[in-house]
Chains A and B, each alone.
Chain A
Amino acid sequence: MAGIIAFAAGGCNLFLMNLQRVCATMRPMRLTAAILMVGALSLGAAAQKRLVLIDQDGSGPGGSNQMAMLALLQAPQVEVLASPW
């Protein structure tokens, strides 16, 4: 289903997700450097928003297709954009 655009605000879960990705890619770096980097990112995370477009099939009612869309729509850190144009 194409046609949903969602804004993921920089909430706690999203920040932790970003943090994990950052750490996963920084294994060779010294811990102190990583902490400094994460600290900088945490400031940016509060202001950053992430966007997602859903493109999928949508059999229904209920079922996996509809529940997957609901998972993104219901996520507390996701803000659905009402009028994207």
Chain B
Amino acid sequence: MVTGNAWRDEETLHTLRMLELTGHTNVPVARGAVFPLIRSQEETRLAEAINGKVAWVGAWGQGQTMLLETGGGVKPVAPDHLQSHGPYDVPPMQEGLPVTKAIEEDAAHFLIRQVRAHPHRVTVYAAGPLTNIALAIAIDPEFAGLTEGLVIMGGSLNPQTDDPEFAASSRHEFNFWFDPEAAHIVLRAAWPRVDVTTVDVSIKAPFTQKMLDEISKSSSPAARYIAAWSQNRYYLWDELAACAWLDPTLITKEKLVYMDVDLGHGPGYGDTLTWDEKFKPKTGVRLVHAQTDLDLPHFQKMFVDLMTVVRH
């Protein structure tokens, strides 16, 4: 686990409980970074006075943003006041506490050990801040080159939306923003291939009431879990990144760009940077496949099917 939308320790408990409720307790969970490499909560709060507020700050100010469906479109609604708590506090868990435990090994070493055990065969799926993976690269500089590739949910190019989180800050995306230095390290590592599910394509894939209704009809443990605990509906960012790895035909348009992250401590700190071949800097930036459009009906059907299948 890595701190992102919530603090690492409460995420670990929620994930362990999800695995219990959906019949996947054979899957090990390793705890990772509690804090980003450089960015701090306090400096971020102080910077807001100068640079303006950030719509979503994850663990540092939790509040459910959801999409209201309005006549063929969706409208994001965020609470006025975001609540936060300390990094090691765990609020009461509605779904109950897990009985299973995380493994003792930390996430960075777990990643390294698994990749070295299966050289050139493992895809790393990264759908949160990239702190753990940056640590793995720092510990083992051969780590990235020994994988089969990297899938990232992160980055933003030019999303077409009136969602205020992105309309006024088209290069802002939370996972890169939360730990910009980690994203910088990861994007410059020697991965054989990098696929990036951007904000641009993610906001085209909302979790609709129709999808939730279809999932809720199933008696599969995963469907029961979602019906009980996923009533809040938002964009299916991470789900799309996962499904596009399973079936790349979901992605109908992508751009090959050199990608990095703005490390200047100004208003653009953590924003996505991209270049083409002609204008790229000579400082080791690397090409990524940045996804920008999808086959939405195909994705929606695939996701509903995955959630309603009964695994044995």
Chief secondary structure at chain A's binding surface: mixed
B95 contacts partner chain A, Cβ-Cβ < 8 Å? yes
Which of B94, B129, B207, B249 lies in contact with A61, CB distance below 8 A? B94
Interface residues on A, range: 35 or more
A3 touches B234 (CB 8 A): no
A71 contacts partner chain B, Cβ-Cβ < 8 Å? yes
A4 touches B133 (CB 8 A): no
Which of A13, A51, A65 lies in contact with B5, CB distance below 8 A? A65
A2 touches B2 (CB 8 A): yes
Give the B interface residue count (CB, 8 A).
79
B288 to chain A, nearest CB (A): 16
In the complex, per-residue mask of B199-241: 1 if CB is within 8 Å of any chain A CB, else 0? 0000000010000000000000010011011111011111101
How far apart sit A60 and B207, CA to CA, in the bound complex (Å)? Answer: 16
Chain B residues contacting A80 (CB-CB under 8 Å) are: 24, 26-27
B28 to chain A, nearest CB (A): 5
In the complex, per-residue mask of B108-128: 1 if CB is within 8 Å of any chain A CB, else 0? 101101110110011111111
Which residue on chain B has the smallest CB distance to residue A68? B238
A5 touches B307 (CB 8 A): no
Chain B residues contacting A71 (CB-CB under 8 Å) are: 239, 242-243, 246, 303, 306-307
Chain A residues contacting B249 (CB-CB under 8 Å) are: 16-17, 20
B12 touches A58 (CB 8 A): yes
Q: Which residues of B contact A (CB under 8 A)?
A: 1-6, 10-12, 14-15, 17-19, 22, 24, 26-30, 32, 58, 62, 93-95, 102-103, 107-108, 110-111, 113-115, 117-118, 121-129, 132-133, 148, 153, 207, 222, 225-226, 228-232, 234-239, 241-243, 245-249, 303, 306-307, 309, 311
